[in-house]
Copies of this chain bind each other. A is one copy, B any other.
Amino acid sequence: MSQRRRPTIHEVAKVAGVSISSVSRALNGNTSNADMVARVNAAVREVGYVPSVVAQSLKTRHTGQIAFAMEDIGNAAYLEMVRRIQPTLRDEGYRLLLHSTGADVEDELGVLASLSQNYVDGLILCPLRVTDRHVEALRQTAVPVVVIGLLPDDVPVDNVRADSRVGAQLAVQHLAEAGARRIAFIDGPLDTVPGRARYDGYRMGLAAAGRETDDALIRFTDFRFDAGRQTARELLTEHPDVDAVFGANDLIAMGALHALRELGRDVPGDVRVVGMDDTPLAATSFPPLSSVSLGSADRGRIAAELLLRRLDGDDAPPERVTVPPSLTVRESSR
């Protein structure tokens, strides 16, 4: 914690016996002869000069920083994203700022508004939901924004999305092809975006497999482990003929796995189980859980790349990229 003032470009100039403009030029690789560069570099080393990024930012009007805002970094999907976003940005010289907004829409709008402070060059945003105020804010942001998630078509912002509807369809078709005849579905709340999409996908999957939908085999609960366990227990007690369960996320599916074990049903022998999100839980559960990946890592990477292109001056029309889901089959449905 030595608090000696850091040397500025003026000290370097004095030591090198040149002007500060020459120092700046030499350091930034602009026209200057080899001799000049050598003298400046020597002086830089001598005084231990490191440029102030703050002063540079003020002058150049960019900060070298990008923000990533989402509900909670503890959520496995967002975690996967940030793990890919960070190296992608760092390779291009950007630092990453993290905003966990919690389940607070106001906070989310606050992040959007704060962009006017110009502390970052761009933002990657995963909105909880997109309100009119979001749309309005997104139309006039101070810096480029990329949204990961659903976005109305008329919002002129780069957009990366998953397809959990097709993902759910994938899961159901897989279960049907594996020979399951009574495929139950434990969904999250139907009035949420993912809950609705997965519900639609489930029905589409059944239809594609030439099966009837039996509403008695569909349940709605929260996207949590305990909720999944409880709901699965009830469902399987009422309908012992169920031979497959599709959980709308891995936590629900894990809950189902526990319930089945408690009911003495063999997985996958008696009942097959598939989850969604392909979190780290899936690989270490017993039996290992088949799960549909929604490509969080890819979505993060693509969002970062889109943003970098914008910062590079690309002013093409906003892009919309949909990342396809993929199913990883493990023992729970084999």
Contact = CB atoms under 8 A, between A and B. Distances in A.
Given A1-B156, A95-B97, A117-B50, A142 B6 contact: yes
A100 B83 contact: yes
Contact of A87 (B95, B100, B286): B100
Interface stretch (A14-22, A201-209, A231-239, A253-261): A253-261
Interface in A40-56: 48, 50-55
A159 to B, nearest CB: 14
A79 B83 CA distance: 11
Contact of A79 (B73, B95, B284): B73
A293 interface: no
Interface string A85-120: 011000000011111100000000000000011110
A59 B100 CA distance: 28
Interface string A277-321: 000110111100000000000000000000000000000000000
A52 B254 contact: no
A118 B1 contact: no
What's the dominant secondary structure at chain A's contact region?
mixed
A42 B271 CA distance: 67
Contacts of A50: 116-117
A58 interface: yes
Interface string A234-264: 0000000000000000010010011001000
A72 interface: yes
Number of copies: 2
Given A6-B142, A73-B79, A86-B100, A117 B52 contact: yes
Nearest to A55: B58
Nearest to A117: B53
Contact of A98 (B96, B257, B284): B96
A284 B225 contact: yes
Given A98-B96, A280-B281, A286-B257, A119 B82 contact: no
Given A1-B156, A6-B142, A73-B82, 18 more contacts: A1-B144, A48-B116, A50-B117, A51-B117, A52-B118, A54-B54, A54-B57, A54-B119, A79-B79, A87-B100, A95-B119, A96-B97, A98-B98, A258-B286, A261-B286, A280-B281, A281-B284, A285-B286
Interface of A: 1-2, 6, 48, 50-55, 57-58, 63-65, 72-74, 79, 82-83, 86-87, 95-100, 116-119, 139-142, 144, 156, 225, 251, 254, 257-258, 261, 280-281, 283-286
